[in-house]
Amino acid sequence: MATYTLYPDASFGATTVDGFVGRAIAGTETLATIRSGAGTDSLYDANPDLVYIGASTTINQFNEIDRGILTFDTSSIVDSDTITSVVLSLYGNAKSNGLGSPDLHIAGATPTVDNNVEPADYNLCQTTSFGSISYASFTNAVYNDITLNASGIANVSKTGISRFSVQLSWDINNSFTGSWSSGLSSFFKWVSADGGGAVTGPKLTVTTTAGATGNMAGNMMLLGVG
């Protein structure tokens, strides 16, 4: 068994990145419209990173959604090994439930580049959940561990970069189940790589077991095969 602990790069222009992308407008849009509209903002060196939804002044409409982007260089994982567990950990910084208490979800993403975030990446966040943590369970000043499901494990590349998004449950599910109130917001914040590095920055822990290739080859030699 082997365990790999990986972090996004803290310096801009390196191999990987963490940050957030969003759509923030002066007007007002329904949830369906704002979540599918073009991204307007991005920030790669934020401390903290966040996911966010803000209500406008029109009932049941919104003026901002933000989504997190995380990339990890997972090419050090032995290609013949089997990934058995993946945990993505975010060090809590703050949270608010002004509009209610959404869950925080991890999903895939296909950002434009692996070492930066761009407004266009807002539309490149996927909607299959890899795992989640509830608002009540998300705690500040500690790592919040999210164990990824089979889809999340399959999202990890053993030959390159693994890409993830962080989204609110209302966003990823296109369903607002909170209590709308003009001008209020709900969000989660976590310490970024720039703010925490390998101490409190976003962390991906991948556990593997050795592949059968080596044992099979040894058994064949013992049997006089080959």
What is the tens place of the pLDDT at every residue in 134-171?
Answer: 999 999 999 999 999 999 999 999 999 999 999 999 99
Among 48, 44, 50, 25, residue whose Cα is nearest residue 36? 25
Give just the sign of the alpha carbon dihedral 100, 31, 151, 51: negative
Instruction: Please state whether the peptide bond connecting residue 111 to the residue before it is cis, i.e. omega within 30 degrees of 0.
Output: no
Distance in angstroms (rounded) separating the CA atoms of residues 223 and 226: 9
Confidence of residue 11 (pLDDT cuts 50, 70, 90): confident
Residue 218's pLDDT is: 35
Percent helix, strand, coil in the chain (nearest 5)?
15, 40, 40
pLDDT (tens digit, 9 = 90+) per residue, 15-56? 999 999 999 999 999 999 999 999 999 998 778 999 999 999
pLDDT tens by residue, 67-111? 999 999 999 999 999 999 999 999 999 999 999 999 999 999 999
Tell me how far apart the alpha carbons of residues 114 and 39 are, in angstroms, rounded to a whole number: 17
Say what the pTM is. Answer: 0.92
pLDDT for res 225: 36
Instruction: Report helix, strand or coil for 3.
Output: strand
Which residue in 203, 217, 218 sits closest to 3, CA to CA? 203
Q: What pLDDT, on a 0 to 100 scale, did the predictor assign at position 212?
A: 61
Would you say residue 217 has pLDDT above 70? no
User: Is 76 within 8 Å of 159 (Cβ atoms)?
Assistant: no
CA dihedral (9, 5, 86, 204) in degrees, to 10, reads: -30
List Cα–Cα distances, 119 to 78, 98, 160, in angstroms: 34, 26, 23
Is pLDDT of 219 > 80? no
Q: Is the pLDDT of residue 66 over 70?
A: yes
Closest Cα to residue 2, out of 74, 54, 61, 67?
74
